[in-house]
Structure 1
Amino acid sequence: MTERLTPDWEFIADGVMGGVSQGSLTTEKRKGRTAVRLYGEVSTENNGGFLQMAFDINASGSAYDASRWTGIEVDVLGNGETYEMRLRTNELDKPWQSFRQAFQADKDWRTVQLPFADFTAHRHDLAFDPAHLRRLGVLAVGREFHADIALAQVRFYN
């Protein structure tokens, strides 16, 4: 069983913190599927190091109760690099706090399942509670590389 999400993706780069990574977010056809594509150059210069596409689960920014689901499932295509899925809850109050899990974006379309149980806390000591899920992000992060990742669908799954 799944519930398809309809994200209103936004693009965020490390320039918000003085970094120099360059990229963009587009909607386009990729190998026969309409997808949102994040691509560009991740640079660690000037304390930078990320490109991100993210959305609030509820347009109002309020929490969504995802406790009946096992995790998040994405249909993804990429350039063989490793990316991160980051989740934020309404319990986190600093922009650098998240729950994260790495995954690979292969050169052919595939479905990746990311169980909530496998997300780890970053820069806080709270346990992940899916009843308080607020925001989801996909990041090219942490090292110098060419980012190229496309998502055709995002779903909660059991």
Structure 2
Amino acid sequence: MNLNPAWEYVADNVMGGVSNGGMRQETYQSRKAAILYGNLSLDNNGGFIQIASDLNSDGTAFDASMWTGLELDVSGNSDRYDIRLRTDQLTKPWESFRTEFTATPDWQTLRIPFGTFTSHKTEAIFDPTQLRRIGILAIGRKFHAEVAVAGVRLYRI
């Protein structure tokens, strides 16, 4: 099932950090993509930039229980990035279900089963019936981020 994320850019400056960057929609290596780019700083307790999108435009939960996981078409600067999922189970902004990937210079299609996402700062176990938001993050260290996302889908085996 193809998803059409309405990506929005968020940076650590919402919490006092000083990382900078942005998101742009353009052709990246011959494919239309959303590109997250910027420079991460750990100053002022910072250290992240992200693009994120709710699955439903009204912000309500989406029942993804019929699918096995996420499939993403990504490319980038050979650095590590996070994929974070949020569900209605989570109440605090630092809680998430997460995994990481490397954005290689060549386009790749990643298949990430829901079962590989780990709980972060929550006791909750991922419930696909309550999936609300997907985020792609550059986080945790000083570096230049550049990751392009050309497609996001739910898949099932």
Alignment of 1:1-158 (within 5 A): 3-158=1-156
Q: Distance in 1 between matches of 2:58 and 2:28?
A: 30
Per the normalisation by structure 1, the TM-score is 0.98
Identity value in percent: 53
- Aligned-residue CA RMSD (Å): 0.5
Q: Report SS of the residue matched to 2:97.
A: strand
Per the normalisation by structure 2, the TM-score is 0.98
Give the Å deviation of 1:84.
0.3
Q: Report SS of the residue matched to 1:61.
A: coil
Supply the AA of the counterpart residue of 1:128.
F
Q: Distance in 2 between matches of 1:53 and 1:47?
A: 20
Gaps of 5+ in 1: none
Structure 1 runs (4+) deviating above 4 angstroms are none
Gaps of 5+ in 2: none
Q: Distance in 1 between matches of 2:28 and 2:137?
A: 19
1:71-108 superposed Cα distances (whole Å, 9 cap, x missing partner): 00100010000100000001111111000000110001
Give the Å deviation of 1:113.
1.1
Give the Å deviation of 1:114.
1.2
Give the Å deviation of 1:29.
0.5
Give the Å deviation of 1:45.
0.7
Q: Distance in 2 between matches of 1:112 and 1:74?
A: 5
* Aligned residue-pair number: 156
Q: Report SS of the residue matched to 1:36.
A: strand
Q: Report SS of the residue matched to 2:82.
A: strand
